[in-house]
């Protein structure tokens, strides 16, 4: 649905820079999510998250984490970011399970087989994005020394969960940039691809085509958005968003916030889980969700995720 902002200038551009709000310290609501992960996941479950949450989750959820703010490298930032940015949920689930089971630095350990870290990343993306028959061929032709159990190595069943906080969306400049590759050059202050604002003041009237932007969006300089998306009515699946003009305003009646995003953020697995948890892909089983904070999902191995 494309709606004009009532009483406002029709400016089709994104607000400059898509400003990132300051990170907030962990509070009681965050603690509630972490304690739920601790109570509702098996011991040893590896938590996949962005680095900001690593230390907090290691101690409050009492679970190992993929990485944290003191251990990140460009390679591991790529490993964490690619699944968040992916629009293929099946591939993202297998990707996350692989890195959760094998730990940081695994791309570097595999690189001698393929000649470079980037070639390794490309092969892994191809593997996890392929149908079963093509996966079998790729595993059978894996370069280098033979593995005892290549299927078990690349498709492990060790427990892992994904932990996301809403503020991750306001840091999309970083994880979408890191998702480009294991040797990506990411600037110190990359432009964001999503703005998170309070929903107060938002009016959407489909019957008349009237749109009043949230007060916080107006304060950030937005005057028009060409695409408005109610995630309660239709989840932000890539097929649904194809061809929609940027920026996209996404909102839901269950959400206290609205998000103004470009296609790269709007199509991402991270945004879909955070804004439309009821349409979560079947490989991601909800542990806990708070629309004002975020949530956690068990990542199910493929054979367990089949419906």
Q: For the chain, report the end-to-end CA distance as a whole number of angstroms.
A: 32
Percent of the chain with pLDDT over 90: 81
pLDDT of residue 208: 87
Q: Do 219 and 101 lie in a common domain? A: no
Query: Is 73 inside a domain boundary?
Result: yes
Q: Return d(Cα 38, Cα 305) in angstroms, integer.
A: 22
Q: Return d(Cα 109, Cα 215) in angstroms, integer.
A: 50
Phi, psi (degrees; rounded to nearest 5) at 153? -75, -50
What is the mean pLDDT for each group of 10 consecutive residues in the chain (307 residues)? 36 31 71 97 97 94 92 92 97 98 95 97 98 95 95 96 95 96 93 94 90 95 94 89 94 95 96 94 96 97 58
* Beta-ladder partners of 225: none
| Domain ranges, residue 82 | 42-185+277-307
Query: Is 227 inside a domain boundary?
Result: yes
Query: Is 26 inside a domain boundary?
Result: no
pLDDT of residue 239: 87
Query: Is 88 inside a domain boundary?
Result: yes
Query: Is 34 inside a domain boundary?
Result: no
pLDDT of residue 237: 87
Q: Is the dihedral of CA 40, 28, 250, 199 positive or negative?
A: positive
Query: Is 30 inside a domain boundary?
Result: no
Q: Do 3 and 149 lie in a common domain? A: no
Sequence-ordered strand ranges (E) for the chain: 4-5, 46-48, 160-165, 194-198, 203-205, 210-212, 227-230, 248-251, 257-261, 284-290, 294-299
> What total number of domains does the chain contain?
2
Residue 257: how many other CB atoms lie within 10 Å: 21
CB 113 within 8 A of CB 138: no
- Cis peptide bond prior to 247, omega within 30° of 0: yes
Q: Do 167 and 292 lie in a common domain? A: yes
Q: Do 266 and 208 lie in a common domain? A: yes
Q: Do 221 and 239 lie in a common domain? A: yes
């Amino acid at each position: 649905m494309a709606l004009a902002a009532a009483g406002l200038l029709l400016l089709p551009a994104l607000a400059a820079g898509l400003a990132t709000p300051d990170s907030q310290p962990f509070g009681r609501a965050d603690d509630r999510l972490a304690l739920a992960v601790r109570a509702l996941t098996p011991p040893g479950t590896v938590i996949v998250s962005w680095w900001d949450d690593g230390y907090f989750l290691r101690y409050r959820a009492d679970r190992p984490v993929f990485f944290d703010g003191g251990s990140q490298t460009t390679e591991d930032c790529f490993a964490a970011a690619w699944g968040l940015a992916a629009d293929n949920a099946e591939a993202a689930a297998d990707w996350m399970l692989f890195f959760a089971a094998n730990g940081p630095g695994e791309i570097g350990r595999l690189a001698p087989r393929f000649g470079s870290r980037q070639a390794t990343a490309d092969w892994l993306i191809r593997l996890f994005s392929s149908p079963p028959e093509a996966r079998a061929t790729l595993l059978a032709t894996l370069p280098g020394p033979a593995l005892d159990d290549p299927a078990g190595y690349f498709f492990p069943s060790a427990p892992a969960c994904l932990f996301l906080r809403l503020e991750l969306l306001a840091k999309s400049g970083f994880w979408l940039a890191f998702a480009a590759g294991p040797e990506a050059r990411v600037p110190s202050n990359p432009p964001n691809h999503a703005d998170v604002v309070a929903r107060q003041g938002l009016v959407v009237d489909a019957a008349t085509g009237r749109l009043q932007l949230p007060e916080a969006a107006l304060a950030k300089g937005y005057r028009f958005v060409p695409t408005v998306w109610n995630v309660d009515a239709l989840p932000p699946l890539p097929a649904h968003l194809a061809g929609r003009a940027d920026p996209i305003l996404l909102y839901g009646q269950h959400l206290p916030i609205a998000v103004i995003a470009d296609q790269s953020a709007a199509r991402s697995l991270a945004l879909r889980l955070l804004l439309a948890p009821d349409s979560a892909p079947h490989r991601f089983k909800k542990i806990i969700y708070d629309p004002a904070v975020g949530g956690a999902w068990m990542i199910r191995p493929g054979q367990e995720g089949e419906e």
